[in-house]
Amino acid sequence: MEPTSKFILPGILFLFTLTFGFWLSRLGKPYNGLVFNIHKLVALAAVVFAAIRIYNLLKGADIQPVVVTLAVVCVLCVIALFATGAFMSIGNLPHAPLLTVHKVALVVLSFSAVGMVYFLIAKPQ
């Protein structure tokens, strides 16, 4: 399989996650249970598939420091997305800062993930 095509499935799942995220926001609070769970589970599936594909690319490669740095940033962003998502749904913390962190982590994750895949695929060791 072409290295880039390995990321089609995680990419599609990521787009579904965004779609359900914006839909969830539009529907407002209290969150629609079905849309919330689809958003959360599709996000989980996207992360798991992306992690498996990236792990397979990393195996046996001479890993560059930039890839390690971007991977750490991606992991931190995923933790931030899941934590803020969970806290927003529980609703016991101020909503606005949590949503801001959710959005910022999403943007940083997108750029870091694309950068990491670029360095892994375009600059193979």
Residue closest to ligand HEM when measured from CB atoms: 85
Taking Cα atoms as reference points, which of 101, 120, 124, 122 lies closest to residue 50? 120
Nearer CB in complex with ligand HEM: 22/124: 22
Retrieve residue 110's tokens: 């997108």
Please report where in the chains the tokens 């990521």 appear, as a residue: 14
Q: How many residues form the binding site for ligand HEM (CB under 6 A)?
A: 22
Q: How far is the CB of 125 from ligand HEM (least distance, A)?
A: 28
Closer to ligand HEM at the Cβ: 63 or 106?
A: 106
Is position 102 an interface residue for ligand HEM (rule: CB under 6 A)?
A: yes
Start-to-end CA span in the chain (Å): 18
Task: Collect all residues with Cβ–Cβ distance below 8 Å to 117 and sequence separation of at least 6.
Answer: 4, 7, 54
Residues 25-54 that bind ligand HEM (CB under 6 A): 25, 31, 39-40, 43, 46-47
Residue 76 binds to ligand HEM (criterion: CB under 6 A): no
C-beta of residue 78 within 8 angstroms of C-beta of residue 109: yes
Q: Which two tokens stand for residue 98?
A: 């949590």
Q: Give yes or no for residue 81 binding ligand HEM (CB under 6 A).
A: yes
Surface-to-core class of residue 98, CB atoms within 10 Å of its CB (0-12 exposed, 13-18 middle, 19+ buried): buried
* Footprint on this chain of ligand HEM (rule: CB under 6 A): 17-18, 21-22, 24-25, 31, 39-40, 43, 46-47, 81-82, 85-86, 88-89, 99, 102-103, 106
